[in-house]
Amino acid sequence: MASLFWLRDLAGAWIFYSVLPAWPWPSPRFERIARFAPWIGLVIGGLQALLWLVLSAMNWSAESCALMVIALGAWLTGGLHVDGLMDTADGLAAGQERCLEAMDDSRVGASGVLALLLVVLLQAGALIRLGTWGPIALVMAAVIGRMAPLAAMARFPYLRQGGTAAFHRRHWRGTQDWVPAITLIVLLLWGAALWGGGLLQSLALVSVVGLGAAWLVVECLGKRLGGHTGDTYGACLVWGETVTLLSAALLFPALWGAG
């Protein structure tokens, strides 16, 4: 019975965090889907990596591949996290007193556009630099980025009790909800160890840097606002992905040679 519950939560996470077709079975449950967000990230990052490999086989340039996989990632998530990134930037620009009000505004301000532009340029630059290492970095970034909201749920209260993402924090179960994410990271590192050639050390270093940077974003936003919202969950995720790609772009070519 317990295994059916987690499978239903995973089915719910699949629906909530992506635009991919729903599973025919089992019926989804949504209360505790946050713990499976990194697993959905594995699927999304894997699809981005697959697109990169297909386009590379068709002799597309690294620049073209980078932009296409970024676009695919935004589409696969329905723009859910990008929307949070832009709303958070607009809220921070509005000041402490009007922050939550500005986040609620459906209109996008200059700060939101600037945040999106910065993220796209940083991710594209990192992926172009990574070259043939891009597919591996995409998978790691998609997984690590989705661990950032888990840290926000664990560390800070939710600021809008009637908010659409309040149920994540309300159903958070502490340490046990970290188990699926940590298990996934261990499996990925184990796979890297089997691959050999020092890949384990490289991915472990990227994971540590990415997780550390994501945690820093969570802490800064949480202390600045006094907690988190659904928008800041999305912002932490996107910046976690971005910093992970940047750290991979700095470390992989240095350790393995430019792709």
DSSP 8-state secondary structure symbol assigned to residue 228: B
Quick check: 31 pLDDT over 60? yes
Q: What ranges do the domains of the chain cover? A: 37-256
pLDDT in tens, 137-195: 999 999 999 999 999 999 999 987 777 788 888 888 888 899 999 999 999 888 888 87
Pinpoint the alpha helices (H) of 18-98: 37-57, 62-76, 80-94
Instruction: For 227-256, write each residue's pLDDT tens digit.
Output: 999 999 999 999 999 999 999 998 876 665
Please provide the distance, in angstroms rounded to a whole number, between the alpha carbons at the two ends of the chain.
Answer: 47
Cβ contact 215:131 at 8 Å = no
Dihedral sign for Cα 121, 82, 116, 118, please: negative
Of 14-28, 31-45, 127-141, 186-200, the poorest mean pLDDT is in: 186-200
Residue 217, pLDDT > 90, answer yes
Closest CA to 188 of 240, 143, 238, 132: 143
User: What pLDDT sits at residue 94?
Assistant: 84
Per-residue confidence (pLDDT) for residue 99, from 0 to 100: 86
pLDDT digits (tens, 9 = 90+) for 119-137: 999 999 999 999 999 999 9
More confident residue, 2 or 27: 27
Q: Rounded distance, CA 189 to CA 170, Å?
A: 31
Q: Which of these, 126, 105, 122, 104, lies nearest to 114 by C-alpha position? A: 122
Q: pLDDT band at 258, cuts 50/70/90?
A: very low
